[in-house]
Structure 1
Amino acid sequence: MSAPHLPLVLASTSPTRRELLTRLGLPFECRAPHVDETALPNETPAALAQRLARAKAAAVARDCPRHLIIGSDQVAVVGDRVLGKPGDRARAAAQLALAAGRVMVFQTALCLLDSATGRAATRLVPFEVALRPLTAADIDRYLDREQPFGCAGSLRSEGLGVTLCERMSGDDPTALLGLPMIALCELLRAQGVPLP
């Protein structure tokens, strides 16, 4: 019988991340990480996602001193433009108009922090989505039904966002949903967490 692992905490209030982690059948709790998500000057999208994943885990670790904390962050990029969470319909429409007919790259970072030792492991998992050309009417219909105002790049791929896509490519489809489960399983196994 293996030694018990530290309790798991997901540093997120995202229902999608919660549902993904639930698939592993492990007990965990969710805590809201209060982190400023503003990019630093000249920070690359990949570096931003990694920094925020670590910051989210560290923010929650202050109240969870003997836990394994899972932090994750996602940044969407079209060309050289970072598309964060739009927050409202006008910004979402502008993001989708910019991305129409182009490739959107989602940089999803993951951090597993052992708050007992302070050791953290991070992974970055990119995923590409090619959007089909979109009319203003396509965008309006999508926003009417989906309202993806809390999603990076305004693309809720687990919902109707898939209707906007021509193709998707990457090593881990769950990275697109905001929590790269293949990388997470690797990190959890390294911490002695028993997985199937």
Structure 2
Amino acid sequence: MKPYFQDKIVLASQSPRRKELLEQMGLKIEILPADIDEANGKDLEPIALVKDLSRLKARAVLSKCRDAWVIGADTIVVVDNRILGKPGSEQEAVQMLEVLTGREHSVLTGFTIGHKKKDKEITRAVETRVQFKSMPGNEILWYAKSPEPYDKAGGYGIQGMGGFMVESICGSYSNVVGLPLCEVMETLVKLGAVQF
């Protein structure tokens, strides 16, 4: 049995991982990436930042989709209160992995779900703690030379080859992939967007 949803659900993101996670739940998802300046709010605390960016993304798409549920999300990796974005080069990927090796870090995702016509909106944030194993330089370089790090916060994908670096996690696995499914589905049900 698939969940029931009356209005369409639009994901304000180009992330194939987020789309795949939602489709695993039986939801039919349309993609309409939000065009926002993500440099705004960099002076905010990490949790406030991901919530703010998710809200900006959702509202940018809500203005175009009045009759749909819109999901906006933003994920960051934080270590020592330092935000690690997506690496733009092999050198940046190596530097990020050198910071993460043998240490614990946080993966934070903010998400906003809203419906313009129904005048409903909820924003939440979820944190997962991830412990990396200690990696020698050759392992870091091998991973940085793969195509995997370059569209992912923190420069790794837990659901792919990057899973070999993860010793343990505390919290939502799907959050580390890009969207905390438990909390997102809970919020969709609370808003009346999805029924079982």
**Structure 2 match to 1:104:** 105
Residue type at the aligned position of 1:184: V
Alignment of structure 1 residues 180-195 onto 2, 5 Å = 180-195=180-195
11-20 or 144-153, which deviates more: 144-153
CA contact under 8 A between 2:69 and 2:114: conserved in structure 1?
Answer: yes
After superposing on structure 2, the runs of 4+ consecutive aligned residues of structure 1 that deviate more than 6 Å are none
CA contact under 8 A between 2:77 and 2:153: conserved in structure 1?
Answer: yes
Once the two structures are superposed, residues 64-93 of structure 1 have per-residue CA deviations (whole angstroms, 9 ceiling, x without a partner) of 111110011111101121101112221111
- SS of 1:162 mapped into structure 2: helix
Residue type at the aligned position of 1:174: S
Residue type at the aligned position of 1:129: V
Partner Cα distance (1:132, 1:152) in 2: 18
CA contact under 8 A between 1:24 and 1:195: conserved in structure 2?
Answer: no
RMSD over aligned CA atoms reads 1.7
- SS of 2:65 mapped into structure 1: coil
Q: How far 1:4 sits from its partner (Å)?
A: 6.0
CA contact under 8 A between 2:69 and 2:193: conserved in structure 1?
Answer: no
Once the two structures are superposed, residues 40-77 of structure 1 have per-residue CA deviations (whole angstroms, 9 ceiling, x without a partner) of 25311111110111111111112111111001111110
CA contact under 8 A between 1:72 and 1:108: conserved in structure 2?
Answer: yes
Structure 2: runs of 5+ lacking an equivalent:
none
Q: How far 1:175 sits from its partner (Å)?
A: 0.9
Structure 2 length-normalised TM: 0.92
**Structure 1 match to 2:83:** 82
Q: How far 1:194 sits from its partner (Å)?
A: 3.7
Partner Cα distance (1:88, 1:31) in 2: 27
Structure 1 length-normalised TM: 0.92
Structure 1: runs of 5+ lacking an equivalent:
none
Are residue 169 (structure 1) and residue 153 (structure 2) matched? no
